[in-house]
Amino acid sequence: MIRFSQRFTFGLNILLVLGLLGLSLGAVGLIVQDVIHIARGNLVHGLVSAMGSVLLLWVVIELLDMEIDRLRGGAFRLQLFVGLALVAFIRKVLVTSLASHDLAGILVCGVIFWLVSRAESGKK
């Protein structure tokens, strides 16, 4: 039963990696679409959207890198998820209007990221 569970979990992890690969291709497609908007003269929309798309691609790359590292026996990195939450807040601020609750969320997430980074670097 344990061996079956391990194989099943490994299969699910492979599906996760394949899904992340698909998402990365989709993010590249979004960047290409944003560059087309810029080339057609819609500079403001294209630039703001491109920045959000690049951040999205960065998130997918980080998740994919972490999952591959974990499949090779690496440790789970909590710092990555806090950093991704910070990037998600920043992307939201770039794409939507700037509101005070967004800034507070970025600040809180930044402090948590700093604390987790210090804790993880202290373990090494």
pLDDT tens profile 67-120: 888 888 887 777 888 888 877 777 777 666 555 556 677 777 778 888 888 887
pLDDT of residue 101: 57
- The length of the chain in residues reads 124
**Model confidence over 4-35: pLDDT tens digits?**
999 999 899 999 999 999 999 999 999 999 99
Structure tokens at 11: 């299969």
CB 89 within 8 A of CB 109: yes
pTM beyond 0.85: the answer is no
The average pLDDT across 44-62 equals 84
**Torsion sign across C-alpha atoms 56, 100, 77, 119:** positive
Question: Side chain identity at 16, as an amino acid letter?
Answer: L
